[in-house]
């Protein structure tokens, strides 16, 4: 996989229920990871840090619970996610999207091993870029 573009939805504590609901509609494979699995043993450890539904029709929908301490704003809770393993292409997208916007998370290696960054472009659209290791 070179790269993909898909919606990423933030939820207010009910990401598991929502993602399971979407799976019941679209089918496919649902993968869920909790904050606790990545070392957050405190409040919200059982909440979803990352969820991904990949359908048999080729749709991908991602979602997560809003982390503790971060604001949840209905209407502002959808981000466009760019992900894949073509680092050169994804870094170029990142530079163009963040260059005239604002960066909230610098594009750098994260605790799960991938490079990740988040920004808002000059039009106010939120973007996430995740560069994973090439699939063999």
Is residue 136 over pLDDT 80?
A: no
Higher pLDDT, residue 127 or 30: 30
Q: Are 49 and 97 in contact (CB under 8 A)?
A: no
The candidate with the shortest Cα–Cα distance to 129, out of 72, 82, 60, 79, is 82
Supply the pLDDT for residue 42. Answer: 77
Tell if the pTM clears 0.75, that is, is over it. no
> Across the chain, what does the average pLDDT equal?
90
């Amino acid at each position: 996989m070179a790269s993909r573009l898909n919606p990423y939805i933030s939820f207010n504590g009910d990401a598991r229920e929502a993602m399971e609901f979407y799976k019941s509609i679209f089918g496919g494979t649902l993968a869920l990871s909790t904050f606790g699995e990545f070392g957050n043993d405190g409040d919200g450890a059982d909440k979803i840090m990352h969820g991904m539904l990949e359908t048999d029709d080729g749709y991908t929908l991602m979602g997560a619970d809003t982390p503790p301490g971060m604001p949840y704003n209905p209407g502002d809770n959808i981000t466009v996610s760019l992900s894949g393993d073509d680092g050169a292409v994804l870094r170029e997208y990142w530079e163009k999207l963040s260059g005239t916007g604002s960066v909230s998370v610098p594009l750098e290696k994260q605790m799960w091993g991938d490079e990740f960054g988040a920004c808002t472009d000059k039009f106010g659209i939120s973007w996430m870029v995740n560069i994973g290791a090439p699939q063999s």
